[in-house]
Amino acid sequence: MKLSAQHGKLTTIAQRRFEGLTPYQVVTFLNQSLKDRGLIFGLRQFDEDWELTVYDAAASSEES
């Protein structure tokens, strides 16, 4: 896989630098950046583990 060689051709949607990164900051950033594309991200913590869920809001609205 030569993804790094093609990296210059990728379109940037959003970018943010995190200082003292927390999972909640990442999910908030993803939700703010991708909500217009119909994606919603959820995060739950189970003891020491984290569960990240990606929802397709556009597909949900088409079903109703």
Q: What pairs with residue 20 in β-bridges?
A: none
In a domain, 6, yes or no: no
In a domain, 49, yes or no: yes
DSSP 26-61: HHHHHHHHHGGGTEEEEEEEETTEEEEEEEEHHHHH
Whole-number pLDDT of residue 55: 95
Whole-number pLDDT of residue 12: 84
pLDDT (tens digit per residue) in 1-49:
555 565 668 888 898 887 888 899 999 999 999 999 999 999 999 998 9
Model confidence, pTM = 0.71
In a domain, 33, yes or no: yes
In a domain, 1, yes or no: no
In a domain, 59, yes or no: yes
In a domain, 55, yes or no: yes
Q: Are 10 and 2 in contact (CB under 8 A)?
A: no
Containing structural domain, residue 47: 20-63
In a domain, 26, yes or no: yes
Counting the structural domains of the chain, the total is: 1
Whole-number pLDDT of residue 3: 56
Whole-number pLDDT of residue 20: 82
